[in-house]
Structure 1
Amino acid sequence: MREGIDWRLVKCFLRTMVESVYLHEWHPFEPCRSRTLFVVVRLFAFVFLIPVLLFVFLFPFFILHSFY
């Protein structure tokens, strides 16, 4: 048996993340995703991902502003 990452699950997770953040919709008839996964991904995106992205994009502006 081949060990490693199941790329179908990774693809499902990433697609669910994109849909939950940007499209705000859930397609219940697609077999790889469930309502629970949708809720977990949305919570992950809003609790962890958005603050990290804000910090990464805004931090250089604060650094540059402090020198001028």
Structure 2
Amino acid sequence: TGCGDAYRAGLLFGISHGWDWPSTGRLASVMGSIKIAHRGAQNHTPTRDEISARFKKAFGSAPF
């Protein structure tokens, strides 16, 4: 499904930007959840605003 790839992308983003582990894991989860919401291969490119809104809805604060 590509969910693992999307999860790893969020994980690597957080690590490479010096985020703490809880925030990094949350971002990774958000990225996986965005992927699973779209059918088929990874061809949806979420915007920064979409990622931020989903993160805030799930965890109460925006990541960016």
Shorter-chain TM-score range: 0.3 to 0.5
Using the size of structure 2 for normalisation, the TM-score is 0.33
Using the size of structure 1 for normalisation, the TM-score is 0.32
Q: Decide which structure has greater helix share.
A: 1
Greater RCO (Cα-Cα under 8 Å, separation 6 or more): 2
